[in-house]
């Protein structure tokens, strides 16, 4: 009974905090208001898009978000609930003794609350079940169309997000692309042309920050793949997980 009471208390406390975060930081509300605005000029913004499971990059996301806040750039997300979910995750990380299953439960609870309060988010989640390249392209195109009238967009991507954004960048007139750990090939499946074939003709400026020992394509990509002149490669001493020390992050962020 004590264990049940403890679990109930934890869910209640964290649930109340989640609701407070949502009310103050409802990204869905911000997106809808943004769509109604008609500014006279476009502001610069960075749209973040990542892996199919972006929660695997919690630490990496924290570094990027902190840096982008320092340079006072507008941050936009492919997933409209990311801001709220990220704040919940940050709050949970302060409670070191929380078990992993409870942390995961809170994230799912947060998404459920968002679906209830904002039916539009439920529609978005349904589209995320389609994890194919085509499905991700459709989702990102919709997000870009929502923001492009208001912002001069740079897309900052991670892993497969780099493939998705580079496939549509020229068509949608994106200002610039940046990708951390572009997956040129699959370690298991080998060569898959859809990952790199379009890069030969890409016109949008594209900075790829790649680990020298990345199993999805390391320093050998220079000789292995034909890339457009608009693509700039920057190599760092890491692999696909991109686990860097604070000191090693500085030259990356300076790019």
Q: Once rounded to an integer, what is the mean pLDDT over residues 222-230?
A: 94
pLDDT of residue 112: 81
Q: pLDDT tens, 74-98? A: 888 877 777 777 777 777 778 888 8
More confident: 248 or 237: 237
pLDDT of residue 86: 72
Q: Is the pLDDT of residue 39 over 60?
A: no
Q: What is the 3-state secondary structure (H, E, C) of 190-243?
A: ECCHHHCHHHHCCCCCEEEEEECCCCCCCCCHHHHCCCCCCEEEEEECCCCCCC
Ranges of beta strands (E only) in the chain are: 43-49, 74-77, 151-158, 176-180, 206-211, 231-236
The pTM for the full model equals 0.71
Q: Is the pLDDT of residue 30 over 50?
A: no
């Amino acid at each position: 009974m004590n264990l049940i009471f403890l679990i109930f208390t934890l869910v209640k406390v964290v649930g109340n905090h989640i609701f407070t975060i949502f009310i103050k930081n409802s990204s869905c509300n911000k997106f809808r208001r943004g769509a109604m605005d008609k500014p006279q000029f476009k502001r610069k913004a960075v749209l973040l898009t990542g892996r199919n499971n972006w929660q695997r990059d919690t630490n990496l996301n924290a570094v990027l978000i902190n840096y982008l806040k320092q340079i006072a750039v507008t941050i936009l997300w492919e997933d409209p609930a990311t801001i709220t979910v990220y704040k919940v995750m940050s709050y949970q990380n302060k409670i070191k003794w929380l078990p992993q299953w409870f942390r995961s439960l809170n994230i799912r609870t947060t998404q459920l609350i968002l679906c209830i309060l904002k039916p539009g988010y439920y529609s978005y989640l349904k589209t995320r079940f389609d994890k194919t390249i085509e499905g991700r392209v459709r989702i990102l195109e919709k997000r870009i169309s929502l923001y492009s009238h208001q912002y001069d967009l740079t897309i900052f991507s991670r892993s497969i997000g780099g493939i998705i954004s580079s496939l549509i960048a020229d068509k949608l007139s994106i200002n610039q692309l940046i990708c951390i750990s572009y997956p040129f090939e699959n370690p298991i499946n080998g060569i898959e042309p859809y990952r790199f074939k379009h890069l030969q003709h890409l016109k949008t400026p594209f900075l790829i920050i790649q680990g020298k020992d990345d199993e999805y394509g390391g320093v050998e990509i220079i000789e292995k793949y034909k890339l457009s002149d608009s693509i700039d490669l920057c190599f760092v001493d890491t692999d696909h997980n991109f686990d860097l020390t604070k000191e090693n992050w500085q030259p990356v962020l300076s790019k």
